[in-house]
Amino acid sequence: MDFLNAIVAFANFVLVPGTAYGAQLALGALGVTLIYGILRFSNFAHGDTMAFGTMFVILITWGFQGLGISFGPLPTALLALPLGIVLTGFVLIGTDKMVYSFYRQRKVKPVVLVMVSLGVMFIMNGLTRFIIGPDDQRFADGERFIISARTFKEMTGLEEGLAIKTTQGITVITAVIVVAILFWFLNKTRTGKSMRAYSDNEDLALLSGINPERVVLYTWLIVAALATVAGTLYGLDKSFKPFTYFQLLLPIFAAAIVGGLGNPVGAIAGGFVIAFSEVTVTYAFKKVATYILPDALAPDGLLQLMSTDYKFAVSFSILIIVLLFKPTGLFKGQSV
Amino acid sequence: MTRRDALLFVFVGFLILGTGFTQSWNSALLILNMGLISAIMALGVNLQWGLAGLFNVGVMGFVALGGLATVITSMPPNAEEWSVGGLRVIFGLLLGAGTIIATIIARRRMSKGRARTFATLAILIGGFFLFRYVFDGGVEAIEAVNPASTGYLGGLGLPVLLAWPMGGLLAAGAAWIIGKTALGLRSDYLAIATLGIAEIIIYILKNEDWLSRGVKNVVGLPRPTGVPYEIDLQNNAGFVERAAGLGLDPATASTLYVKIGYSVLFTVVLVLLLWLAQKALNSPWGRMMRAIRDNEVAAEAMGKDVTARHLQVFILGSAICGIAGAMMTTLDGQLTPTSYQPLRYTFLIWVMVIVGGSGNNFGSVLGGFLIWFLWVQVEPMGLALMQLITAGMSDGFWLKDHLIDSAAHMRLLTMGLVLLLVLRFSPRGLIPER
């Protein structure tokens, strides 16, 4: 029984939150990795793109709530999500036409594009704060739990409860659907194949008649969808605050690099590696250990490897370790 | 410097003088002092980017390390904290460093294989728990001493001016560690690594109370020699008389006097660093760095050790940022870890370098002053603009309130626009590289 309690406690505090966070990071890292693979620069504005997309979703959600439209037990934000994606898509394509395409035609060094993305980051960050304000916004509604801790305890008779929030369930399901569609698109459709070809070898792709502007257009649309979905899921699960989204840049980049920049499968794996390391290293294992170990060995301390404040240090250390031993990432990524 | 460059400097000078005439001399001096510090930071970033093409987005971290150096150097040591846990914490840190060194030695000595992997893991895991055991006990004891007023180890009690080179040294040390791991890899990896280390340095400052009181802030840092306290000036009959002679009341006169004192000190540092940077730029070393920046492969073929040179210039640039950080904390008189924001301390400095003209030291200095001026003045300008836009709306209308409340965020927007416009239409900046 104690053993089961230990497993449930572990699942409740590490496995479930880690999976949800990992899915959010994976979606973010997919966006970064796609831009890297096809447009060939590290997009520093990605965190703020996520914030921008989420902002649209929040505003639309508030509109729906005002009109009395709801999605039953599910959050209204899911209804607003497609509209948010479309708006973000327009913004990103507009940004590309006004900002990035100029540098692309001149074939500047990637680092100049990174610098340009810094400018875009400033503007997006400023606009987000301007429109919705720098404060926390909560927009989750509907049913709060799939299983609450108390129901779980009553059902199983265990001492430990396992709570699964609706938002966590939705995160994982949505992520699976989005990733499935993305891989189907990249591997089966003509446009997807031309995108991969362009990413593998630009000159050869151009030679075989692939229209680069079309590839770029589709890339931005997909990135808009990925960023808005990732941002909305993160905001539903935790809360929306523009600065937090800016800070997400570090774990997202860590995930993309750990997996191998430019490699979509790597980005997903990287997202989960980073998420689980962050959650595991900063979780206090006292409860789990008390169940497993005999009373005599019960720990005095919290058995926490690092305080939760250092979660960024965890993603950073993993990034450094991977860079030192396998600079192209766990899965083979590109390098310029 | 050409005549055009000189005119640009005169223009910025007029902007600051204009603030003095239209707003107050106090605000003008505030802009001047922070402008001097920003110019030094921009000089450091320009050394890395303009001269060597290294993309460092961790300026904030190095600036914060400079601030930490001010506390460590200038605050008096706290005897009680030292006696209860000081040595234990130091010993713990040494154990931590020893673990890493032991791992590196083991990996160098042993041949590749399963034995080496196990040895690495054993040393790392064992070392980590040993470190935590020794270190945590010391930290707990220190933080328990008088947490409301001290609860940290204090500093060395040295004159605060020594903190400025100290800040440079601390930043250089951090830069060495980052450079060793990330240089030699792809260029964006350095960017990500510096972004990460900057966040981590801020988290350390926020959470390690034994070191610098964390978010409880260290206040009352001593002032450098030559900069008196306002209250002493106001009690000085001679000073009050001279102030009255200039038609100033003692309170205003004393704040102006103190600020001018800082301006003089900062100007000395800026001129010295600018002179050194110019010397470096025009030396054989500077030409080599530019050659490496423009064509790494060719420079390597000429027998230049690209990675080692990059490490060198990365450390130097970061050290300059550290010096500027120490100066800034000295000016503030307190260390406030929560005030370090990447947008303000990393990306704003980048805007300064790009707008001023990367690769040109005078350009970075100009950019430092100009962008800092804009950063300070855009907020009131934005507010005025919003009031103009909303003038026709009735009071209490939601859009009016929202627009006026949001005027503060105009800053980021303006900085982004300035950066994009300069990159697009004048990518070489106001004073281009020659």
The beta-carbon neighbor of A42 closest among B191, B343, B410 is: B191
Looking at the predicted structure, is the pLDDT value of residue A336 above 50? no
d(CA B240, CA B381): 36
Domain tally for chain B?
2
CA distance B179 to chain A (A): 11
A34, A264 contact by CB (below 8 A): yes
Cβ within 8 Å of B, A 41-60? 41-42, 44
Q: Are B314 and B54 in contact (CB under 8 A)?
A: yes
Among B62, B54, B50, smallest CA distance to B323 is for B62
- Cα separation, A303 vs B69, in Å, equals 32
- The ipTM (two decimal places) reads 0.87
Q: With contact defined as beta carbons under 8 Å apart, do B106 and B119 qualify?
A: yes
- Is residue A245 in a domain? yes
**Chain B residues in contact with chain A using a Cβ-Cβ cutoff of 8 Å:** 53, 55, 57, 128, 132, 181-182, 185-189, 191-193, 195-197, 199-200, 203, 206-207, 342-343, 347, 350-351, 354, 405-406, 409-417, 419-420, 423-424, 427
- Identify whether residues B103 and B159 lie together within a single domain: no
Q: Is B211 found in the same domain as B103?
A: no
In a domain, A332, yes or no: no
Specify the pLDDT at position A154.
Answer: 83
**Among chain A residues, CA nearest to B403:** A130
Do B103 and B214 lie in a common domain? no
Is it the case that residue A76 has pLDDT exceeding 70?
yes
Count of helix runs (H) and strand runs (E) in chain A: 16, 2
Structure confidence by residue, pLDDT tens digits, A292-332: 777 666 666 667 777 777 888 888 888 888 877 787 888 87
Distance from the Cα of B181 to chain A's closest Cα (Å) equals 7
Residue B434 lies in a domain: no
Instruction: Give the pLDDT of residue B6.
Output: 92
Cβ pair B182:A313 closer than 8 A: no
Distance of CA B254 to the CA centre of its chain: 28
Q: Do B200 and A130 touch (CB under 8 A)?
A: no
Q: CA–CA separation, B210 vs B231, rounded Å?
A: 31
- Are A56 and A87 spatial neighbours (Cβ–Cβ below 8 Å)? yes
Q: Are A87 and A63 in contact (CB under 8 A)?
A: no
Contact B367, B356 (CB under 8 A): yes
Alpha carbon of B113: minimum distance to chain A alpha carbons (Å): 14
- Structural domain contains residue A188: yes
Asked whether B72 and B166 are in contact (CB, 8 A), the reply is yes
Q: Quick one: which of B17, B33, B13, B37 has its CA closest to B25?
A: B17
d(CA B321, CA B325): 6
User: For residue B245, how far is the Cα from the chain centroid?
Assistant: 39
* DSSP one-letter code for B154: B
When scoring A122, A250, A336 by the number of chain B Cβ atoms within 10 A, the one with the most, hence best to mutate, is A122
Confidence (pTM): 0.89
Angle between helices A77-95 and A46-67 (to 10 degrees): 140
List Cα–Cα distances, B251 to A319, B107, B248, in angstroms: 53, 64, 8
Does the beta-carbon distance from B55 to A114 stay under 8 Å? yes
Task: Give residue-wise pLDDT tens across range A33-49.
Answer: 999 989 888 899 999 99
Q: What is the pLDDT of residues B81-137, one digit of tens each?
A: 888 888 999 999 999 999 999 998 998 888 888 888 899 889 988 998 899 889 988
DSSP-assigned letters across all residues of A86-125: HHHHHHHHHHIIIIIHHHHHHT--HHHHHHHHHHHHHHHH
Let me know how long chain A is.
336
Q: Does A119 touch chain B (CB under 8 A)?
A: yes
Nearest CA in chain A to B177: A320
Q: How many Cβ atoms are within 10 Å of B349's Cβ, its own excluded?
A: 29
Tokens 């010295």 correspond to B272
Residue B280 sits in the same domain as residue B398: yes
Q: Tell whether B112 and B145 lie within a shared domain.
A: yes
- Are the beta carbons of B195 and B57 closer than 8 angstroms? yes
CA distance linking residue A154 with residue B75, whole number of Å: 58
Q: Are strands A145-147 and B334-335 parallel, antiparallel or unpaired?
A: unpaired
Mode of pairing for the β-strands spanning A145-147 and A164-165:
antiparallel
**Run of H or E including A145:** strand A145-147
Q: Which residues contact B357 (CB under 8 A, 6 or more apart)?
A: B363, B364, B366, B367, B428, B429, B430, B431, B432, B433
Is A138 part of a structural domain of the chain?
Answer: yes
**Min Cα–Cα distance to chain A from B36, Å:** 24
In angstroms, what separates the C-alpha of B6 from chain A's closest C-alpha?
Answer: 28
Q: Does some domain include residue A162?
A: yes
Task: Supply A164's token pair.
Answer: 């699964």
Find chain A residues with C-beta within 8 A of B187's C-beta: 110-111
What is the crossing angle of helices A264-282 and A311-325, to 10°? 130
Asked whether residue A78 is domain-assigned, the answer is: yes
Rounded CA gap, B343 and B129, in Å? 36
A175 CA to centre of own chain? 9
Assess whether B149 and B274 both reside in one domain: no
Q: Measured between alpha carbons, how far is A279 from B99 in angstroms, rounded to an integer? A: 24
Report if residue B35 sits inside a domain. Answer: yes
Are residues B198 and B327 located together in one domain of the fold?
Answer: yes
Where among B107, B138, B153 does a domain terminate? B153
Contact B413 A315 (CB under 8 A): no
B419 CA: distance to closest CA in chain A (Å): 6
B222 in the same domain as B162: yes
Give the residue among B325, B349, B320, B348 at the shortest CA–CA distance from B337.
Answer: B325
Comparison of pLDDT for A118 and B68, the residue scoring more: B68
The count of domains in chain A is 1
B431 lies in some domain: no
Taking contacts as CB-CB distances below 8 angstroms, the residues of chain A near B197 are: 316
| Listed residues B153, B183, B214: the one ending a domain | B153
Is the domain of B167 the same as that of B196? yes
Same domain, residue pair B131 and B242? no
Assigned domain for B432 exists: no
CB contact under 8 A, A118 and B192: no
| Structural domain ending residue among the three candidates B153, B172, B204 | B153
**Which residues from chain B sit within 8 angstroms of residue A253, using beta carbons?**
192, 195
Q: What percent of chain A has pLDDT over 90?
A: 46
For residue A37, what are the domain limits? 2-325
Residue A334 lies in a domain: no
The reported pLDDT for the residue numbered A334 is 64
pLDDT digits (tens, 9 = 90+) for A277-294: 999 888 878 777 777 777
Distance, CA of B62 to CA of B111 (rounded, Å): 37
> What is the pLDDT at residue A144?
81
CB A228 within 8 A of CB A88: yes
* Residue A336, domain member (yes or no): no
One domain, residues B191 and B268: yes
Write the CATH number for A107: 1.10.3470
Neighbours of A33 (CB within 10 A): 33
Same domain, B276 and B362: yes
**Which residues form the domain of B127?**
79-153
- A134: chain B residues, CB-CB within 8 Å: 409
Residue length of chain B: 434
Helices (H), chain A: 2-10, 16-39, 46-67, 77-95, 101-106, 110-132, 149-156, 166-188, 190-200, 202-207, 212-237, 242-247, 249-259, 264-282, 286-292, 311-325
Q: Report chain B (434 residues): mean pLDDT per 10 consecutive residues.
A: 89 93 90 96 94 90 95 91 89 93 90 87 90 89 85 89 95 92 78 86 90 89 88 88 86 90 95 95 92 90 91 96 96 92 88 91 95 89 83 77 78 88 90 87
Q: How many helices (H) and strands (E) does chain B have?
A: 20, 2
Give residue-wise pLDDT tens across range A227-253: 999 999 999 998 899 888 988 998 999
DSSP letter for each residue of B46-100: HIIIIIT------HHHHHHHHHHHHHHHHSPB-HHHIIIIIHHHHHHHHHHHHHH
